[in-house]
Amino acid sequence: MIKLYQFETCPFCIKVRKKLDELNLNYETVEVSRDRAKRTKIKELSGQIKVPVLEDSDGTVVYDSSRIVEYLEDNY
C-alpha cells in the first residue's frame, strides 16, 4: 500500500492527497512530527526531513509534491 508521510494541514501534502484521491488510489497517511529532530523515518527513506514523502508499495520513495504528482501520473 502507498504511504504518504505528511502534515494534515500542509498545502503541499493536500496537493498530493488530492491527486491520490483523483486517481482512486488506496493509501495510508502517516503524520510526521513537527519536531524536525524526530523525523528520523522520513530522513531514512528520503535523505531529507521535509514533507510530503511518498513510499510506494514497491519500495519507491519520492519527495517534493510536484515530483510525487508527476510520479503518480506516470505510474498510475
CB-based contact 7:65 (threshold 8 Å): no
Residue 65 inside a domain? The answer is: no
CB-based contact 52:65 (threshold 8 Å): yes
* Count of beta carbons in the 10 Å neighbourhood of residue 1: 9
CB-based contact 76:27 (threshold 8 Å): no
pLDDT of residue 52: 98
pLDDT of residue 73: 99
Q: Render pLDDT for 15-69 as a digit per residue (tens, 0 to 9).
A: 999 999 999 999 999 999 999 889 999 999 999 999 999 999 999 999 999 999 9
Domain coverage including residue 32: 2-57
Model's pTM, two decimal places? Answer: 0.95
Residue 31 inside a domain? The answer is: yes
Domain count along the chain: 1
pLDDT of residue 58: 98
d(CA 23, CA 32): 24
Residue 53 inside a domain? The answer is: yes
Q: Render pLDDT for 21-36 as a digit per residue (tens, 0 to 9).
A: 999 999 999 999 999 8
Residue 70 inside a domain? The answer is: no
Q: What is the CATH number of the domain that holds 20?
A: 3.40.30.10
Residue 62 inside a domain? The answer is: no
